[in-house]
Amino acid sequence: MTDLLEDADFRGGARGALRPAEVVRLESVRKVYGGSKNAVVALDEVSVGLRQGGFTAVMGPSGSGKSTFLQCAAGLDRPTSGSVVLDGVDLGSLGERELTRLRRERIGFVFQAFNLLPALSVRENVGLPLRLAGRRPDRSAVEEVLERVGLGGRLGSRPGELSGGQQQRVAIARALITRPAVLFGDEPTGALDTATAREVLALLRETVEERGQTVVMVTHDPVAAAHADRVVFLADGRVAGTLERPTVDRVAERMTRLGANGAGR
């Protein structure tokens, strides 16, 4: 991983000319839930690399393993077999405490349900990951990240006083405050109306383009996926292809072929 590769990828100008560094690598990942009698294979020999500074969407029919993929990639869950290397660290080599620390310090999460703490102010919610990591939240850093997501004027508000889109922007600010190697989102726009979802997607796009942030987002919405620069398709726990520079039409067409909109599902 050289600076040259990362810089080239950040600027976008040399994208494709050089092979950008991978910030996450899953190799032969299997995830089986349940025991021998009721085993469900959620991920079946998944091997995929995610580029530093890239915006990747993970798509597939319901039950295809998207959430499991994200949880394994982000160290929230451990694969049954195979390996996950994140930010140069083999997650399988870490004990629980080390894994928890890595999640806190190197990974950001955004969920469909914003998961903000209702009793805390916007400022306190965003500073929370730093407190959990034993650090005193730097006021100016918290204010700066809230400014970036367009909520510089709502520092003292409670989540309940904000719209859904604003709450998700607070959640994104909270996920970015530790400067994570990867920002993971599981259906981050799933609870938002179309216009608000677009604002949140534009914000994610902006963090990729302006900050070189790596973003990995699970979605079932072709419009959301078209904001990414690459789509990884899953079907029945396997990688069913990828699409570079996706458009809404091409994503929708692939999803139809995967049976997502068909009568079979």
Ligand X SMILES: Nc1ncnc2c1ncn2[C@@H]1O[C@H](COP(=O)(O)OP(=O)(O)O)[C@@H](O)[C@H]1O
- In the list Mg ion, ligand X, none, the entry touching 51 (Cβ below 5 to 8 angstroms by class) is none
CB of 175 to ligand X, least distance (A): 19
| Stretch 63-92: interaction string toward Mg ion, x if CB under 5 A | ---xx-------------------------
Q: Which is nearer to Mg ion, 36 or 62 (CB)?
A: 62
Which residue, 223, 221, 146, 151, is CA-closest to 187? 221
Helical (H) or strand (E) element with 100: helix 96-106
d(CA 210, CA 262): 38
Choice from 6, 32, 45, 63 touching ligand X (CB under 6 A): 63
Q: Which is nearer to Mg ion, 46 or 173 (CB)?
A: 46
Q: Which is nearer to ligand X, 67 or 121 (CB)?
A: 67
Bin 220: left if φ > 0, else alpha if -120 < ψ < 50, else beta: alpha
Which residue, 71, 72, 75, 84, is CA-closest to 22? 84
Q: Which is nearer to Mg ion, 66 or 254 (CB)?
A: 66
CB of 67 to Mg ion, least distance (A): 3
- In the list Mg ion, ligand X, none, the entry touching 26 (Cβ below 5 to 8 angstroms by class) is none
Which residue, 42, 44, 61, is CA-closest to 259? 61
Residues from 48 through 67 that contact Mg ion (CB under 5 A)? 66-67
Q: Is 40 in the site for ligand X (CB under 6 A)?
A: yes
CB of 163 to ligand X, least distance (A): 26
Contact status, residue 124 vs residue 158, Cβ threshold 8 Å: no
- In the list Mg ion, ligand X, none, the entry touching 54 (Cβ below 5 to 8 angstroms by class) is none
Q: Which is nearer to ligand X, 52 or 68 (CB)?
A: 68
Contact status, residue 145 vs residue 122, Cβ threshold 8 Å: no
β-pairing, 55-59 vs 230-235, is: parallel
Which strands form 89-90's sheet, in the order they lie side by side? 40-51, 22-33, 81-86, 89-90
d(CA 252, CA 265): 16
Q: Is 53 in the site for ligand X (CB under 6 A)?
A: no
Q: Which is nearer to ligand X, 49 or 60 (CB)?
A: 60
d(CA 56, CA 58): 7
Q: Is 112 in the site for Mg ion (CB under 5 A)?
A: no
Choice from 18, 28, 33, 249 touching ligand X (CB under 6 A): 33
Binding site for Mg ion (CB under 5 A): 66-67
Chain contacts with ligand X (rule: CB under 6 A): 33-34, 40, 42, 60, 62-68
